[in-house]
């Protein structure tokens, strides 16, 4: 589960970069993950939010997607 969280963090940081956000920018984060991954995300919610400076983290079920917006 932590490995998945670390992979997500990397993907979120890549998304942040492609959106033109700086590393220090606070973000609102929406993660859409398959149902079988929800528990892993929730178990590491604080780690994920802390590593990517997310002021809010919404987790939805569905096809994997990452939405990053400057907070």
pLDDT per position as a tens digit, 33-59: 999 999 999 999 999 999 999 999 999
**In the CATH hierarchy, which top-level class contains the domain 2-70?**
alpha beta
Domain ranges (residues) in the chain? 2-70
How much of the chain exceeds pLDDT 90, in percent?
97
Cβ of 66: how many Cβ atoms within 10 Å?
17
CB 25 within 8 A of CB 16: yes
Residue 63's pLDDT band (cuts 50, 70, 90) = very high
Mean pLDDT of 13-42: 96
Q: Where are the alpha helices (DSSP H) in 24-70?
A: 38-43, 45-52
The pLDDT value recorded for residue 1 is 85
| pTM for this predicted structure | 0.93
Which residues are CB-neighbours of 31 under 8 A, at least 6 positions away? 8, 12, 41, 48, 57, 58, 59, 60, 65, 66, 67
């Amino acid at each position: 589960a932590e490995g998945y969280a670390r992979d997500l963090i990397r993907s979120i940081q890549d998304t942040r970069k492609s959106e033109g956000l700086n590393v220090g920018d606070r973000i609102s984060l929406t993660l859409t993950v398959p149902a079988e991954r929800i528990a892993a995300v929730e178990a590491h919610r604080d780690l994920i939010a802390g590593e990517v400076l997310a002021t809010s983290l919404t987790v939805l079920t569905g096809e994997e997607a990452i939405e990053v917006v400057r907070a």
